[in-house]
Amino acid sequence: MYAWLRRRWPQFGWSLGLWLLAASLTASVTYLWFPGFHYWIDGGWQGLRMVSLIDLVLGPVLFLIVYRPQKPPHLLRIDFSILLLVQLSAMVYGLWRVHASRPVADVYLLDGFYPTVAADYERHGVDPQRLRAYSSSHPPLIFLHHVEGQALKALIRKVMVQDIPIYAQDVLWQPLRGQADDPLVTDRSALLHRLQQPSHPLHAALMRRFAPLSAHDYALFNGRYGKALLVFDRQERLQGSLLFPADTHPLRL
Longest dimension (CA), the chain: 80
Neighbours of 122 (CB within 10 A): 13
125-151: pLDDT as tens digits: 899 999 999 999 999 999 988 777 776
Confidence of residue 224 (pLDDT cuts 50, 70, 90): very high
Helices (H) and strands (E) in the chain, counts: 10, 7
DSSP letter assigned to residue 141: E
Query: What is the pLDDT, as a whole number, of residue 70?
Result: 72
Query: What is the pLDDT, as a whole number, of residue 253?
Result: 66
156-189: pLDDT as tens digits: 777 777 778 888 888 889 999 888 888 999 989 9
Q: Which amino acid does the sequence have at 129?
A: Q
